Structures are given as structure tokens and as C-alpha cells.
Structure 1
């Protein structure tokens, strides 16, 4: 049930990219302005994830999870009903608050219930919901929005959130109360320069990764037009390739060291993005570009988390919370930077801007995270 809840939350986060043209037309704004729905959701998620975790630390995990899904569902219902652009923006912030609280709490709860021996497997099962939301949820939502209305997709997401509530409320033990570490406790890892350097690198990398994804409908418009079926096919392909990339990168991080994997993947992704403008004219070429970009984009996530956990093994929950905030800060910046690039240079310039950013992330990884003498693969992460 925790995994299903993460599936609902992830679908909400990913599906907007496939609905931008429809949302823009319905609300009488530009596609770039519609893209700011992604920005607002991501900023709200990044800011509220550690804050809400601290405020609800003394609650039972069951109460936190049910409350989070309630807030998430209400936020999406307001989005579906909102008559204008301003209220839609506000409702995205509300949905993000519920999403941020649910995802962080679901992962920690799975680890707590499973115990140390089964902790990794439990977290993997929960986070499978995020992967499947990209593979199935986002394309499904795009098809629903394209063939019915984008507001129907918002109702679909609200319904998915509600479906997870009964199982969590009935079956999850009402335990897990703790003590809030306070803002100072959450920010303690930021006194470590290596943590700060890794978070900065994460932001740079994921701005580059999410910029083409957010505006995928515009980048590949020469090949697919604005048809929902073709766009859903690209999103499904991206998600499947991303799932394989994530699994492969995790395996290689264990064998070769996470830092090496991040460098290799960001360099490869930079090449793919640089060549993407050559692949936007036909469906076969677009599919090749989407497969490669999806595979390498999700090849960053797991090894980067390995690296930050290795830096502060005694404060994993704190640094992973900060890592999630960095990722969603990057998502918000990608929406804003992509809008500027779209208006100033056109859609074909966005992959080139993304290539510059992921190349920069590779360089930062080399310069800021050099292996110190005596470190093994985990510490060198």
C-alpha cells in the first residue's frame, strides 16, 4: 500500500509534462507559463519536505501518511476544479505538500517496519511505486487528458491517492512516534563541505535532466505533432528505459564505485542531449533519443544517493531529506530555465542547454569529489 501511494504521488509529479499544451490552451496561457506548474510543485516539495517531516515527527506514521494523502488528494481536486491559472498554481503547491510528506514518510516507515536485515528490500519495494508511475502512470494520465480533458487526469490522480488510504489506515501499525530534530538538526549535514558540493552537483545535473523531460512535447513536436497517443508512447518509452537505467546504474555502483558511475553517466547523457536536436523530425529517431536519454537520466539517481549516504552514514535520514530537496529544487529550476530558453531560443535549444548542464555536473563531480587517500568505493562515493 505504501508503494501504491508513492505510485499515485509520482504520477502526479510526472504527468504534468504530458499535459502542458492542453493546460495552456484551457487556461489561456503560454506553454512556458503552464510549465511553471511543474516549477511551483517542485519548489513547494523541496522547501516543505524537511519542514513537514520535522513538524510531524511526534505523530504516528499511520497518522502522517493518511494526513499526507488527504492533503495530496484535496490539492489535486482543487486543481481539477480551479477556473483560472492562479488557483491552479496554488493548488499545485498544496498537492506538493502532501506528496513531499507522504514519500519521505513512506520510505522511512518501510525501513522501520522491515528491520535492518530487510531494510533495503523494503525501501526498494516502496520506491518501485515511483518508477512505475513514470512507466505507467504518466502515459496513462496523458492518454486520459488527451482523449478526455486534462482535468479528468487530475481527478484520476486524486482517485489513486484515495485508493491507498484504506489499506494504510487499516493495516499499518500506529507506531513510530519520535522527537523532532528541529531545523538545526536537519541542516547539520550542511556543515560538511563534501555534502554541500554533492548537493550542488545534484542540482546542476537534475536541472539538465528534467529540462528536456518537462518540455518533451515541444522538443519532439516536429515528429509527433501534439497528438496525445504519440506523446504517451514517448513517455512510456522514457519510463521503461529509465527503469532499466536505474537498475543498471545501481548494479554498476556496487561493482565500480558510485562516483565513477555518475561521471560516466553524465558524460554519456551530455552527448545524447547534444545530438537530440538531430532526432526530432521522425518518430523512429525520436524513440532512439528518448530511450538513450531515459536510460542515462535515471542512471544518476541511485549512485548519487549512494554517495551522499556514504558521506554521513550516521545521519542518513537527514542527508537523504536534503538530497530530495535538492532534486526537487532542480526540477523547479528546470521548469523556469526551460521556459526562458523556450521563449528566447526555441524548443530545439533546450537539449543543448541540458547538455551543457550535465557536462558541468560531470566536471563538478571530478573536481569537488576526488577520492581521498585510503578510501574504498563506498567512502569514495
Structure 2
């Protein structure tokens, strides 16, 4: 899920004037990605409370997550094409300000319809910020520090999963779900101020039209591999927006819900970093096969526990939550590796398309989960594990196809 695009044009064009900053300067960019990541996933921490506050069912409230993800998927390539010539600092600051105001507007929304509109605006801002944060991080530091600078910026997204969602849960239970969104808005505005104060002026990129960005889809190495991104993300996010209902169905006490979210987040951190390490050593296909097999076991295991729930199973639930997080976040590094191998000369473009694929998969998964929720939270787990089986079969078939051609 850590799709941060590094645009060589910005880096190279700016290296002479801006590549003199240390790694500390990238921390403010990480604060921005932390805000973006928390905003994208925080709704799962308080969806039932939000549904009550808006006088709708949790299934309907879940469509706010679908709207955010779908808007990100569709708008990301358009925004990238339209804003390619805009100075990078100006673009980052504007994106964070809009993100902050959109979250505050979400918190003040009186109806689900208005909330969905504000979530779409927030998604557009996130789509403008996230890919460019990595490009700027690479541009402002010395070449030998670029990998570490990118790791810091990506760390903001990882921290959002490990800490942002649990903190959002704490804020929503001690205050309200509206207060949680206001806090995300404040963090976004603080990050905007930091970027304005710390970042140097950087030029825009060479224009790349929307047609050029989408033409890469015709490459066989991209066309065959990219659907797996959508499948895999749909699988793990079918139940994710409804995590609180899932935990309720497992008889997890309210006092332990935050701990379960932390278990998922810890697994996500492990999955993200371990999959990158493993991909370099055993290859992307083996890592993806292992990730989807673990995903099937994790969600299928949770569904099995939900069929005869017991408070005594809380340790098993925590372990399965961690495995769910690990398998979900283990997908992106090996999948990006496969896509870049299919179009090495257009690496920034395929990474950006993969980002759209991630959010398109999230939107599909959340929509399926909203539909399945009418049959109970356990059904979202069965649907998710079934889609994970499809993803597992797909990666095995595409790997066999690649090996036969090789």
C-alpha cells in the first residue's frame, strides 16, 4: 500500500539547487503521509458510531469509505496530469490544506450525502499529496540519502496503520467520531504549515498527458499483473471497514478493541517491511503466494471463530488480526516489483497506476462488504477470504505463464 512515486524529472532538475537538506527535513513530509494514511483508514475505527450519528445503517455509512477510495483511484491520474507543471511546494501545501479543511467539513457533516462529498474532496487532496511527497523527499536530500528519505516518508503511511487508526478509536470513544476527524484535519493543517516553512521551492515536472499515463496499461507486463492489485486489495478490505462489527461478532470486549487494532497495525508494519526484504531474496511470486495463503487463513480463521465465538479465544483473535494485517500489507512491495519489471522504463507511471489500482480494489471490497454486512459481520470475512483465494489462484497462474514464457 505504500505507493509513493519518485519522479526522476523533479529529482534531477532540482538536485543542483535543493539536494542539500538532511533527513530531518523529510519528517514534515512524513507527517503529511501520516495524516493521509490516517484519514484513509480511520473510518473503520468508528463506523458504527458514525452511522448512529448520521441516522443510517453501518452498511450505508460504509459507502463513505467506498467513495473515498473510488475517488482516489479515478482522480489520481487526472490530478497528476493536470498539476504536473505546478511547483511542488505549492502543490503539497495546497493538498494538505484542502485535506485538512475537508476533514473538518466531514466532521461537521449533518447527512451522509454531504459526508460523502467531503470524503471525495479529501480523496482528491490525498491523491495530489502522496505521490509527490516521495518525489520531493528524493529531490531535497543528497543522492546517498534518497532511499532513507523515501523510507521516512513511507513510514508515515505505515505509522498511520499501526497507530493512527487505534488512536482514532481512542479519540472516538473518549470524545466522538467527529472529534477524530477534526484531529486529522488539524494534523493535516500542521503538516501544511511545516511544508511551507521547511521545504525549498521546487519546479514542476515535465508534462505527461493523461493519455500517456494510461497508455502503459496496454503493456502485457502491466495488463496481466495489475488486476492482481485490485483483487488483493478487494479481498483484504471487504471486511476491513467493518472491523468493529467483526470484533463484536467475535465477542471481543470493548476494552480490548483498541488492542486488536494495534495487533492488526503491528502485523501491517511487519508485512510491509518483511515482504520487501523477502522479495529481494526469493522473488515476488513466492512472497505474493505466501501472502494470499496467509490472508485466506487469517480471514477464514476469524470467520470460523465467529461461528462459535468465545471470550476465551481472544488470544487467537489477536494472532489472526496480526496475520490479517501482515498479509494485507505484504502485497504492495512484490506487486510493484512485478509491475516495474514489466515496464522498467516507465517505473513512476506504473507505480502511480498501481496506487490507483489499490484504491480501486479498496472501493470494490468495501462495496462488497457493505452488501455482505446484511448477512452479518461473519459474512464479510467469508467474502474476503473467497476473494483472497481467487487472488491466490491468479498469482499462481500468472507466475506459471511468466515461467513458461521465460
Coarse TM-score class (shorter-chain normalised) = over 0.9
1:121 Cα deviation from its structure 2 partner: 2.3
d(CA) in 1 for partners of 2:290, 2:218: 28
d(CA) in 1 for partners of 2:253, 2:46: 10
2:373 to 342, 350, 375: 342
2:319 to 282, 288, 300: 288
d(CA) in 2 for partners of 1:139, 1:300: 22
Q: Deviation string for 1:23-81 (max 9, x for gaps)?
A: 01010100101111110000111111111111111111100100100110111111111
Q: What TM-score, normalized by structure 2, do the two folds share?
A: 0.88
1:76 to 96, 103, 109: 103
d(CA) in 2 for partners of 1:224, 1:14: 23
Aligned to 2:205, what secondary structure does the other structure show? coil
CA contact (8 A) 2:66 2:366 kept: yes
1:225 Cα deviation from its structure 2 partner: 5.9
d(CA) in 2 for partners of 1:72, 1:14: 14
Let me know the Cα RMSD of the aligned residues.
Answer: 1.6
- Map of 2:348 onto structure 1: 317
2:88 to 58, 61, 68: 61
d(CA) in 2 for partners of 1:288, 1:162: 36
Count matched residues: 373
Q: Deviation string for 1:275-329 (max 9, x for gaps)?
A: 2123342322321210111122211121111111222121111111100000000
Residue 97 to residue 371, structure 1, CA distance change in 2 (3 Å): same
d(CA) in 1 for partners of 2:402, 2:331: 19
Aligned to 1:177, what secondary structure does the other structure show? coil
Unaligned runs of 5+ in 2: 1-27
Residue 226 to residue 34, structure 1, CA distance change in 2 (3 Å): farther
Moved more, 357-366 or 279-288: 279-288
Aligned to 1:215, what secondary structure does the other structure show? helix
Match runs of 1:1-381 below 5 Å = 1-114=28-141, 117-224=144-251, 227=254, 229-280=255-306, 281=309, 282=311, 283-343=314-374, 345-369=375-399, 370-372=401-403
Q: What TM-score, normalized by structure 1, do the two folds share?
A: 0.94
Residue 226 to residue 41, structure 1, CA distance change in 2 (3 Å): farther
Residue 223 to residue 268, structure 1, CA distance change in 2 (3 Å): closer
CA contact (8 A) 1:217 1:226 kept: no
d(CA) in 2 for partners of 1:306, 1:225: 38
d(CA) in 1 for partners of 2:187, 2:134: 19
d(CA) in 2 for partners of 1:161, 1:220: 30
Moved more, 269-278 or 234-243: 269-278
Unaligned runs of 5+ in 1: 376-381
